[in-house]
Amino acid sequence: MDTYATTHATLLIRLRDGADAAAWQEFHDRYGALVRGFSRRRGLQSADCDDVVQDVLLSMSKAMPAFRYDPSKGKFRSYLKTVTLHAIFKKSHQKRGEATLERIEEATRFADGDAEVEEVWEHQWRQYHLRMAMRVIDAEFGETNRKAFRRYAVEGGDARQTAEELGMSLDQVYQAKSRITKRLGQLIDRQVQEEG
């Protein structure tokens, strides 16, 4: 069973009701690490990254009553990237004493089309999908299979050594890798399709 049964679109609808605290917590759980990781990669300190996450949540809460998700007009991830860039530049300009709305919006527009910014955002977005899928893997697969998968498939450990350390047969290690890899692919494909 999925850890987050709420679909992406359903969550966005629920966020329009500002009183739905569970929806906002789920949004934070889903996207907080993405925003924080992107902010860190843009050079902010840890405390500033936390501030950016809070600024993004505040901006989203202000925008949500009028927000209507329409995938034909653009992807939510692009919208979230723009909101996050705006919060990052706001924080950066505040630290330098240059926080005018005009400067922040100009910096956001400039960075929004930058190839390097896009590459970092896409990397963080892929990590987001992997984190979400791994939550389901953690709920669906036993600890020994997950350890075998991590040691053999993720860390590149030796299959025989992994089997010995975990008290598994070599075939069980191969099966754990195969089943979890297949399930990860299914989960990530579904997440990407759901985004629109």
- What distance in Å separates the CA atoms of residue 134 and residue 180, rounded to the nearest whole number? 9
Q: Name the CATH code of domain 1-114 (choices 1.10.1740.10, 3.20.20.70, 3.30.70.2190, 1.20.1250.20).
A: 1.10.1740.10
Judge contact between 29 and 132, C-beta under 8 A: no
- pLDDT in the model for residue 77: 84
Q: Domain boundaries in the chain?
A: 1-114
Task: Return the residue matching tokens 């809070």.
Answer: 54
Q: At what angle do helices 159-166 and 170-195 cross, to 10 degrees?
A: 100
* φ, ψ for residue 68, nearest 5 deg: -130, 115
pLDDT digits (tens, 9 = 90+) for 6-60: 567 788 888 887 778 888 888 898 899 999 999 998 888 999 999 999 999 999 8
pLDDT digits (tens, 9 = 90+) for 54-103: 999 999 888 888 877 777 777 788 888 888 988 988 887 666 665 556 66
- What distance in Å separates the CA atoms of residue 1 and residue 177, rounded to the nearest whole number? 20
Query: How big is the CA angle at 144 (ends 138 and 150), to the nearest 5 degrees?
Result: 70
Q: At what angle do helices 115-140 and 76-96 cross, to 10 degrees?
A: 120
Q: Kindly report the pTM of this predicted structure.
A: 0.74
- What distance in Å separates the CA atoms of residue 57 and residue 125, rounded to the nearest whole number? 17
- pLDDT in the model for residue 91: 84
